[in-house]
Chain A
Amino acid sequence: MSNLHIDFDLYPDEASLIQGLKKGDRHACACMLKKYAPRVYAIAIRMMRDQDEAEEVLQETFISACQHIQKFEGRSALGTWLHRIATNAALMRLRKQKNKKEVSLDAPLETFDGDDIPRQIEDWTYFPADLSLNSELRDVLEQAIRQLPDSLRTVFTLREIEGYNTAETAAMLNISVSAAKVRLHRARLQLRETLTPYFSERTGGQS
């Protein structure tokens, strides 16, 4: 069997790609996978913290997208639509993980308490001007996000990385808006705590 070359020029814009997908064009489907799978996989990894689970989410996302492409009305960008499918698939899987340790994703209202008090007070004197070149920093940040407990990481990922607003985030997680706000606040503070040693250790001369 000879391999087919994926030709992105066949679909020069999103409208033509969607048209191809709705016609059931396999080439369009291959283009969609090639273009969007890395970002969807990154979302899945962040949400699930497990490569096998993330791969399941990735596959479910594109199977679902292919099955439901006729219903896609183009109100959002194709990428946004895929991200939402992936996010929902990940949340469903997280909900099924009953044996997980922490607070339920649907836990009731939370309030600010002593856990929110920052413990490390140190200026980040090492802060690179050109972040685009720093893959090490990207890894450090991804790792810090993965360390967040499920209840905080899901809110943080939806709100801060996927760009949903607080009300949308709360609705997707079946929690109140105020609980979503508290969790986002905690997640940011926890990330700050995790990252502080990385940035302050470099004040001693490392770069």
Chain B
Amino acid sequence: MTTLHTHTASSDCQHLLSQLNDYADGELSAQLCQELEAHLAHCENCSIVLDTLHKTIYLVRHLNSTPPPHIPLSVENRLFAILDLQDFLDQGSD
């Protein structure tokens, strides 16, 4: 079983973590990038945060690329009805 650690961030960590978003999006200036990468090289906690943040972003983008679940049939029926299209339901539905 793994233990979750509490991150006691130094002021360095706190300052650089506020830049992680721009870094993850490739929008951070070259100078700040250098500063952040130098910090990441010796701060394991921040490296883990960055890695898991990347994975979070990756997951969300993957979610967006997959088809959404089916719309509930009752919701679809009411949508067709409100547009007076209920005669297209049944065979056209699931």
For chain A, the count of residues having a C-beta within 8 Å of the partner chain is 61
B34 within 8 A of A: no
Q: How far is the CA of A35 from the CA of B53 in the complex (A)?
A: 33
A58 near B56 with CB under 8 A, answer no
A58 near B75 with CB under 8 A, answer yes
**Which residue in chain B gives the minimum CB-CB distance to A135?**
B69
For chain B, the count of residues having a C-beta within 8 Å of the partner chain is 52
A55 near B75 with CB under 8 A, answer yes
A157 to chain B, nearest CB (A): 10
B5 surroundings in chain A (CB, below 8 A): 120-122
One of A12-20, A23-31, A87-95, A167-175 contacting the partner: A23-31
B45 to chain A, nearest CB (A): 5
B88 near A27 with CB under 8 A, answer yes
B48 within 8 A of A: yes
CB contact between A29 and one of B9, B45, B68, B83 (< 8 Å): that residue: B83
**Interface flags, A5-48, vs B, CB<8A=1, else 0:** 11000000000000000000011011001100111011000000
For the complex of A and B, 5 pairs with smallest distance between CB atoms: A6-B92, A42-B68, A185-B21, A30-B88, A112-B18
